[in-house]
Structure 1
Amino acid sequence: MEFTAVERDAVRSWNRYMDHEVPLVLRRTADPRSETLRDFLETLMSLADRVRGGVLEEKEMPGLPAFLIGGAWRYHGLPRAMELRPFLDLLAFQVESPAQAWPESLRVAALGVENPATLKVFVTPQCPHCPRVVQDLAPLPFLNPKVQVVLVDGELFPEEAREYGIRAVPAVVLDEYFRWTGPVRVAEVLEALARREGSDMSPEAMVRMLKEGNAEGLARLMIAAGRVFPGFVEVISHPEWSVRLGGLVLAEELVSKMPQGFGEILSALWDRMYEWPEAVQGDILYLTGLNGDPEWVGEIQSFLEGRNVSADLVEVGREALEALLGRTSPV
């Protein structure tokens, strides 16, 4: 495999910097693309004597070929062009401490992940933001081996990208619940990993999931936790209509599974009912009716009778009362 002049210079410069040898193992499977990765490994070793390559022969086994790095990174791809430098950094982290790559707050959060987890990172060679995502996530498995990171080159392995419904890169997937597309904040990924430990989710993370179209995954998380996360108040009152709409879609999914789960959320929303913009007030009325608890009838009636409200709010309020009382309600 022929490297470009820029790639050769990058490898040689990295090699001069390294004080220790670094291992790089190729998992060679029955997939014919194993040979492409093998060619890359041989070329890399010819340019960098610090790389000690090896081959794990599994030619009778199905599955994608991969470079195995540090026991926790599995790299299904060819790190060419912009992806080469982050790949070399991964190799270096095997013999150098990654601790200084992250601030203390991120290191503490990473070490706090107790249950095994796998992050899938989808990239392509032409993607301008992909190298940064790889670079940002690089220290994670070295700091906490319970977290494995699997990188997939969507151009070399398009079937894997299709299986996960990847339409844009970079994309990061955690379980079936979390998905990020575009630049990724490491703190948000670590928070998502913590969610698997059973704690609540921040409003920012919920908004991100809804913007990614993953209301269903967020609903499953709340159902598994047995509660509506308190930050949902900020979702329903969010200034962006698309976010509030996603929250209402989520609520429709949740109300049949945990009908009593919205009591505290509604109380927090109604405490500030007169402060919200009219559009948010309408969504709160709808959510109150959706919740199905007749104890809210008096609250809705007082709101509609106690002040001048628009015809649109009156209509939404009537529909909420009908949902709660099961009949047409005069206002």
Structure 2
Amino acid sequence: MLDPALAQQLSAYLTKVVHPVELVSTLDASTASGQLAELLDEVAALSGGRVTHVRTGDALRRPSFRVVREGTDVEVEFAGLPLGHEFTSLVLALLQVGGHPSTAPAELLDAVRGLGGEHRFETYFSQSCQNCPDVVQALNLMSILNPGISHVAIDGAVFPGEVEERGVLAVPMVFRNGELFGQGRMTLEEVVARLDAGAAERDAERLAALEPFEVLVVGGGPAGSSAAIYTARKGIRTGLLAVRFGGQLLDTMTIENYPSVEHTEGPRMAADLERQVRGLGVEVVTGQVAERLVPAPVPGGLHEVHLGSGAVLRARAVVIASGARWRTLDVPGEDEHRNRGVTFCPHCDGPLFVGKRVAVVGGGNSGVEAAIDLAGVVEHVTLVEFADELKADDVLQRKVRSLGNIDVLLGTATTEVVGDGSRVVGLRHAPRAGGEATVLPVEGVFVQIGLLPNTEWLDGVVEMTPSGEVVVDARGATGIPGVFAAGDCTTAPWKQIVAAAGAGAGAALSAFDHLIRTSAPAASDADEAAARA
């Protein structure tokens, strides 16, 4: 089942298993069970005896399996096939159940061990979802560390009845003790904070005690990572603040235009960047939201970034790299049905709409690519574009028009997402030029209408365009001495990974130059006389 290169890689990883591991499967006569049995047999064969496959499980879901540390209660559970993006979750589960330590911060691991109560987690995922592994891996680790926590990761495609019954229309979707716990990407820090009321307060106290940074980078995408790497390598005390490390990389399936990297996936690049940043000694602060920038009161003084938790981070220079997020339709019914039919990720959530009718709103490259992608999964796609023509590349337009299960509506305004109280049932639209509105019967609405910069926290502080982009010069400088910006949150014309990384490096070099010039000792009379001579 595994290709030779992947099998060789897995075999090398399994040498890190310290304690014997059992894969206890519960199977039936289905094709999925046969595939799962083949996968588990292959994993065991590659382990050099460290892992064994036992077909004696009695779980309710079939096919499923438990990864068990032999002779203990330490285990995690998968229902379905952990392939695609979830294969990494399986590998980590094998290593961590087998005794290989997590690389998460020690204080965070201690917080997990200290959680009280019983927490039975269930996470629905799809193999094509790049957001799901973060959640699955966080909850798996928690179940390994704390005996009061259990977790089962469920492949929604293998259990469509459950998906329908529980109203799972977006992944990842997490249930705790039978009740909805959360939807979308969540980090280990975020899950712990929700379960431990004192975690946020303790973290705020820790952050408040930090010494001022020489450079504080706000944002953990390509621009922010690059800026932090450049300043850290110059020996500058650097901090990096991000809600989640990786930015839009976490939502990018395929990257094939980054120099020297023929092919990678966004989450993998984000993980590589985080490893590099942390390895350089950068103080990485995640799970925190920047709420306000207070510029230094005097030249060369300390700028302040105020956080939602109440903590304040200080630095002599700040690099703003807060990126952008998906633009919303801002029509009635959209917010109420988010993750209940309204979604922004065709790769993640497309498999949940197999055999259904959906709409894609947006005629640019992302919208047309989404329609093409979904056409191979769903029954029918209607592509809705406000303008009188599609804005996507010609090759994409030719492809979308060649597919028999895609209709294209041009010059059409989306006016409402229609629901039945629990899920989407239609999309109301009308001719842009005026005319009667009609309701298109659909069960899913995929919004693909561009990006908005994450700059609300800078209102009234730095100069911005009407669309919220930070105005910068060729050096990445804003109008405030010591405050620089880079990437998709700025006026830079090209919203690309390599462009953002380059801009982040440039802003970092500008910040370094600013620090040199504002920390140089004042010239003495003798120095000035020598200079005049």
Looking at structure 2, the residues matched to 158 and 124 of structure 1 have their Cα atoms a distance apart, in angstroms, of 11
Looking at structure 2, the residues matched to 79 and 131 of structure 1 have their Cα atoms a distance apart, in angstroms, of 10
Distance 1:123 1:6, change over 3 A: farther
1:149 — aligned with what?
Answer: 151
Query: Does structure 1 conserve the Cα–Cα contact (< 8 Å) formed by 2:23 and 2:66?
Result: yes
Q: Give CA deviations for 1:184-232 in whole Å, capped at 9, x if unaligned.
A: 032332233347xxx8999xxxxxxxxxxxxxxxxxxxxxxxxxxxx9x
Looking at structure 1, the residues matched to 179 and 199 of structure 2 have their Cα atoms a distance apart, in angstroms, of 14
Distance 1:120 1:152, change over 3 A: same
Matched, 1:165 2:164: no
2:110 — aligned with what?
Answer: 108
Query: Does structure 1 conserve the Cα–Cα contact (< 8 Å) formed by 2:16 and 2:100?
Result: no
1:23 — aligned with what?
Answer: 21
Distance 1:83 1:6, change over 3 A: farther
The amino acid of 2:118's aligned partner reads P
1:47: Cα distance to partner? 2.9
The match for 1:65 among 52, 63, 66 is 63
Looking at structure 1, the residues matched to 100 and 3 of structure 2 have their Cα atoms a distance apart, in angstroms, of 30
1:47 — aligned with what?
Answer: 46
The amino acid of 2:2's aligned partner reads F
Matched, 1:10 2:12: no
Query: Does structure 1 conserve the Cα–Cα contact (< 8 Å) formed by 2:134 and 2:187?
Result: no
Looking at structure 1, the residues matched to 53 and 76 of structure 2 have their Cα atoms a distance apart, in angstroms, of 16
The match for 2:85 among 82, 87, 102 is 82
Give the TM-score of the pair, scaled to structure 2: 0.33
Looking at structure 1, the residues matched to 166 and 5 of structure 2 have their Cα atoms a distance apart, in angstroms, of 33
The amino acid of 1:28's aligned partner reads T
The amino acid of 1:96's aligned partner reads G
SS, match of residue 173 in structure 1: strand
1:227 — aligned with what?
Answer: none
SS, match of residue 3 in structure 1: coil
Looking at structure 2, the residues matched to 137 and 52 of structure 1 have their Cα atoms a distance apart, in angstroms, of 23
1:134 — aligned with what?
Answer: 136
Distance 1:19 1:34, change over 3 A: closer
Looking at structure 2, the residues matched to 96 and 200 of structure 1 have their Cα atoms a distance apart, in angstroms, of 26
Looking at structure 1, the residues matched to 75 and 99 of structure 2 have their Cα atoms a distance apart, in angstroms, of 15
Looking at structure 2, the residues matched to 73 and 19 of structure 1 have their Cα atoms a distance apart, in angstroms, of 15
2:462 — aligned with what?
Answer: none
Identical counterparts, % of pairs: 23
Looking at structure 2, the residues matched to 183 and 69 of structure 1 have their Cα atoms a distance apart, in angstroms, of 23
The amino acid of 1:171's aligned partner reads M
1:154: Cα distance to partner? 0.8
Q: Give CA deviations for 1:259-308 in whole Å, capped at 9, x if unaligned.
A: xxxxxxxxxxxxxxxxxxxxxxxxxxxxxxxxxxxxxxxxxxxxxxxxxx
SS, match of residue 128 in structure 1: coil
Looking at structure 2, the residues matched to 13 and 45 of structure 1 have their Cα atoms a distance apart, in angstroms, of 13
Matched, 1:56 2:59: no
1:126: Cα distance to partner? 0.8
- The number of aligned residues is 199
Looking at structure 2, the residues matched to 143 and 117 of structure 1 have their Cα atoms a distance apart, in angstroms, of 13
SS, match of residue 115 in structure 2: coil
1:178: Cα distance to partner? 4.1
1:318 — aligned with what?
Answer: none
Q: Give CA deviations for 1:226-260 in whole Å, capped at 9, x if unaligned.
A: xxxxx9xxxxxxxxx99xx99xxxxxxxxxxxxxx
Higher strand content, 1 or 2: 2
Distance 1:85 1:177, change over 3 A: closer
| Structural mapping, 1:262-281, within 5 Å | none
Q: Give CA deviations for 1:46-76 in whole Å, capped at 9, x if unaligned.
A: 3332322212154xx8533321123441111
1:205 — aligned with what?
Answer: none
The match for 2:96 among 68, 88, 93 is 93
1:129: Cα distance to partner? 1.5
Distance 1:62 1:110, change over 3 A: closer
Looking at structure 2, the residues matched to 161 and 125 of structure 1 have their Cα atoms a distance apart, in angstroms, of 15
SS, match of residue 164 in structure 2: helix
Distance 1:163 1:10, change over 3 A: farther
Distance 1:82 1:62, change over 3 A: closer
Looking at structure 2, the residues matched to 167 and 14 of structure 1 have their Cα atoms a distance apart, in angstroms, of 34
The amino acid of 1:42's aligned partner reads D
Give the TM-score of the pair, scaled to structure 1: 0.52
1:186 — aligned with what?
Answer: 188
Looking at structure 2, the residues matched to 82 and 55 of structure 1 have their Cα atoms a distance apart, in angstroms, of 25
1:120: Cα distance to partner? 0.9
Distance 1:72 1:165, change over 3 A: farther
Matched, 1:125 2:123: no
Looking at structure 2, the residues matched to 142 and 130 of structure 1 have their Cα atoms a distance apart, in angstroms, of 18
The amino acid of 1:23's aligned partner reads V
Looking at structure 2, the residues matched to 171 and 113 of structure 1 have their Cα atoms a distance apart, in angstroms, of 22
Distance 1:162 1:101, change over 3 A: farther
Distance 1:22 1:123, change over 3 A: farther
2:204 — aligned with what?
Answer: none
1:182: Cα distance to partner? 1.9
1:24: Cα distance to partner? 2.8
1:136: Cα distance to partner? 3.0
The amino acid of 1:48's aligned partner reads S
Looking at structure 2, the residues matched to 172 and 150 of structure 1 have their Cα atoms a distance apart, in angstroms, of 10
SS, match of residue 95 in structure 2: helix
